[in-house]
Amino acid sequence: MSTLFTPFQQAKIRFRNRLGMSPMCMYTAVDGQANSWHLAHYVSRAQGGAGLILMEATAVSPEGRISPGDLGLYHDNQIEPLVNINQMIHEQDCISGVQLAHAGRKAGHAKPWQGNAALYAPDWPWNRLAPSAMPFDEGEPMPRAMTEEDIDRLKTAFVDATCRARQAGFRLLEIHAAHGYLFHEFLSPLSNLRTDSYGGSFENRIRFLLQVIHAVRAEWPAEFPLWVRISASDWTSGGWSLAESIALAKRLKIEGVDLIDVSSGGNVAGAQIPIAPGYQVAFSEAIRKEAEVATATVGLITDASQAERILSDGKADVVLLGRPLLQNPYLPQSWAKELEAELPLPKQYLRGW
């Protein structure tokens, strides 16, 4: 019997299987609003059999977008276009979740197919915000070190976006604290040089994230799961480490976080990452065992038996797929066949298979 296709329960939410779509920016929103691209893209992956659609990094404020094409939940007019998408995903017996994000010093870049370069006024009229005035890399924009007022404003922005996510019909919320974006910048001693209560010690570096999680958990309904994506390592000596990730995971669990979505890297330009099949699974396994919290694993998981083994060996509770689901929305159907598991097709397609 396949573990990958065994239902999974968190809070009041039942996932039909343990194979989810990893958040992936589509760079296609206009003023943060979803459109027919997002409808077709996300709903087709739900039709393809994923148990969870985790929508792309969705900004809590305009200056927190990675690109001008990011989704946002910083304005009430961004709610309505998501309602229909979420309803259609849920009609497929698939759970729809959203990843709330602030890109920090890595905000404000052109879309990949427009060259990825940093944008400046008038195309990007906002200051980049970060724990410390330190650019991500040579030639990258200098961010402004956040004041306590900025920190308070963003806490409110995360809570307001959480409230909009609920109104939009999402049933799972993930906070993006990975990949060198704002929260990760606070966590890592390589990007956080603050001398106030938000910098220095481990306790101080995790403070901003914990405060936001505390406030978000109070707003997000108890029956819906709250997840946090972290980078388990900066892959750089002196940087954020697996040991700190385990300690953070224990604290997040106490705050009511239901699952740690374990990725890595993104905060140090030029870090040497030993990319290989399942290269982040060991981080998930360690966090799951040491912090006794549910985990998701992601990264170069490309075949059914590999995914199945990760779960049956107890190295994660959920497998997330990124690029494989860009290539083939019906991958879960193929994998279910391969693993001889039940995965009902949309009834409209029964005659095709």
Ligand X SMILES: Cc1cc2nc3c(=O)[nH]c(=O)nc-3n(C[C@H](O)[C@H](O)[C@H](O)COP(=O)(O)O)c2cc1C
Catalytic residue numbers?
A: 181
* Contact status: 25 vs ligand X (CB under 6 A): yes
Residues of span 78-107 touching ligand X by CB under 6 A: 99
Task: Identify which range of 9-17, 153-161, 176-184, 251-259 contacts ligand X by CB under 6 A.
Answer: 176-184
Q: Which amino acid, one-letter code, is at 255?
A: E
Number of residues that bind ligand X (CB under 6 A): 20
Distance CA 174, CA 179 (A): 14
Task: Identify which range of 6-14, 154-162, 171-179, 185-193 contacts ligand X by CB under 6 A.
Answer: 171-179
Distance CA 251, CA 247 (A): 7
Q: Binding ligand X by CB under 6 A: which of 324, 339, 345, 346?
A: 324
Distance CA 303, CA 142 (A): 41
The three-point CA angle 298-263-10 to 5° equals 65
* Contact status: 323 vs ligand X (CB under 6 A): yes
Q: Which is nearer to ligand X, 79 or 103 (by Cβ)?
A: 103
Find where tokens 């993006």 sit: 176
Q: Which is nearer to ligand X, 25 or 95 (by Cβ)?
A: 25
Partners of 165 in the β-ladder: none
Find where tokens 């480490």 sit: 241
* Contact status: 247 vs ligand X (CB under 6 A): no
* Contact status: 264 vs ligand X (CB under 6 A): no
Q: Binding ligand X by CB under 6 A: which of 146, 187, 281, 298?
A: 298
Closest of 315, 325, 313, 258 to residue 286, by C-alpha: 315
Q: Rounded to the nearest whole angstrom, what is the least distance from the CB of residue 58 to ligand X in the complex? A: 8
* Contact status: 172 vs ligand X (CB under 6 A): no
* Contact status: 59 vs ligand X (CB under 6 A): no
Q: Rounded to the nearest whole angstrom, what is the least distance from the CB of residue 181 to ligand X in the complex? A: 8
How large is the greatest C-alpha to C-alpha distance in the chain, in angstroms?
Answer: 64
Could you tell me which residues come within 8 angstroms of residue 171 by beta carbon, excluding any fewer than 6 positions away? 13, 90, 95, 96, 97, 224, 225
Q: Is the peptide bond before 274 cis (omega within 30 degrees of 0)?
A: no
Q: Rounded to the nearest whole angstrom, what is the least distance from the CB of residue 147 to ligand X in the complex? A: 27
* Contact status: 108 vs ligand X (CB under 6 A): no
Asked if 277 and 305 count as a contact pair (C-beta separation under 8 A), the reply is no
* Contact status: 229 vs ligand X (CB under 6 A): yes
> Which residues are at the interface with ligand X (CB under 6 A)?
22-25, 56-57, 99, 176, 178-179, 229, 263, 298-301, 321-324
